Amino acid sequence: MSATCDETHDPGLQSWVTTANDPDTDFPIQNLPFGRFRPAGGQDGDSEWRIGVAIGDQVLDLQATGLVASTDMKALMSTAPAARRALRLKLSQGLREGSATEASWRNALSPMAAVTMGLPCEIGDYTDFYVGLHHAIAVGKQFRPDNPLLPNYQWVPIGYHGRSSTINVSGTDFPRPVGQRRGEDDKHPAFGPSARVDLELEVGVFIGQGNEQGRPITIGDAEDHVFGIALFNDWSARDLQAWEYQPLGPFLSKNFASTVSPWIVTMEALAPFRSAFERPAGDPEPLPYLDSQANRAQGAIDIGLEVWLQTARMRAAGSSGQRLSQSNFASAAYWTVAQLVAHHTVNGCSLRSGDLFGSGTLSGAAPGQEGSMLEMSLGGKRPITLDNGETRSFLEDGDAIVLRGRCQRDGARSIGFGTCRATVLPALT
């Protein structure tokens, strides 16, 4: 594990960007996540995406500071860990109270409200994993009550290759998907809009440095190849999924839309929030290529996660929505980030800068910690009653889902991820 705490994590650091000193901000000087932005109001192609760093309610134009010469985010992401740490230190020093760069760097700032955020980088390949143990058990019980986990789950990080072309940045709404579905009592499948659109509470893992085809990444080196983490909602059409998934797995039920938050919180920023990775008592130990002392000691990442729903009626009434659930990456995940990288490449698969891993749904073990409506409503058998009297089994047109994430620990400055939001629109057919 290459990320360790240093002076950039000092909880006492203050910034001359005063909004970064607000205890409620997601983006204090101890965070410094990366994203891509351009002036708001422009059309696609009007200006190229620029690399920005979030600080308080401002975006720092990294090229305008002189710290980088290129606006190529993937080139920055592919730099070695030592170079990334050096850049983080320069940013931290330049943004601190009393810095000599304050006068010149103020000209490199733009209010977040005055910019348009894009995808954090151009996303290449996308793999969705299934690391959420409690989600796997809860969903498995709906189909196999006596044997919810399949035999391979405790041995293999389960995943499938998804579609990167329909991954959208937060704030990009999408139409309800259409496709084939067949109910238990239906003789033939029907075609039409999905009636069971669902959310999936996930994190997205962005690859930094890649590897040559045929050269696996060892678990000891795995996190050197990870740039950072964002929030991720891998929307699902559960009725389409139930009909299509055998024998090859999800297809149209998953590739219509996914939403990622615009800021990548780096592995360096997450260093204070690492903890021991432990499997449930009695479970088998991972095979040697998925195991290391460092992974056991600090492989887990403590990220508090929340799911919020804002219905059209709530929006019309001026309500920001209702929290449906809360969970945590560290306690929900059965496999670590390092294990995902090691497994993905052990057969010689090549990863490239900008590739994205979805974690899979990160549900907790207790009620109120579900990461999908499939779990919250028991597959639609127990509709959820909202505070305003509305009910939901799955998402309706006009429903917006907002994911939030935050890291908190005694002795460290709390940092956040921004929001990951999208609204389900009516189907186009």
Q: Maximum CA pair distance of the chain?
A: 74
**Contact between 192 and 370 (Cβ < 8 Å):** no
Residue type, 329: F
Q: Is 83 exposed, middle or buried (0-12, 13-18, 19+ CB in 10 A)?
A: exposed
* Identified catalytic residue from 9, 134, 135, 225: 135
Q: Taking the CB of residue 288, how many other CB atoms lie within 10 A of it?
A: 8
Residue 244 three-state SS: helix
Q: Taking the CB of residue 156, how many other CB atoms lie within 10 A of it?
A: 15
What are the CA-CA distances from residue 31 to residues 95, 341, 390 (Å)? 12, 24, 38
Q: Any idea of the CA torsion for 177, 256, 188, 244, to the nearest 10 degrees?
A: -150
List, as one string, the DSSP characters of 307-329: EEEE-HHHHHTT---EEEEEEEH
Closest alpha carbon to 372 in 25, 364, 53: 364
Q: Is 27 exposed, middle or buried (0-12, 13-18, 19+ CB in 10 A)?
A: buried
Q: What share of the chain is helix, strand, coil (3-state, %, to 5)?
A: 20, 25, 50
Residue written as token pair 């945590």:
328
Contacts of 221 (CB under 8 A, 6+ apart): none
Closest alpha carbon to 415 in 2, 16, 98, 5: 5
Residue written as token pair 């975006």:
59
What are the CA-CA distances from residue 327 to residues 263, 307, 373 (Å)? 20, 9, 14
**Prior bond to 23 cis, omega within 30?**
no
**Contact between 258 and 233 (Cβ < 8 Å):** yes
| Span between the terminal Cα atoms of the chain, in Å | 49
- 135 part of the active site: yes
Closest alpha carbon to 403 in 282, 230, 278, 146: 230
For 208-298, where are the E strands, in sequence order?
Answer: 226-233, 236-237, 258-260, 265-266, 274-275
Q: Which sequence positions are flagged as catalytic? A: 135
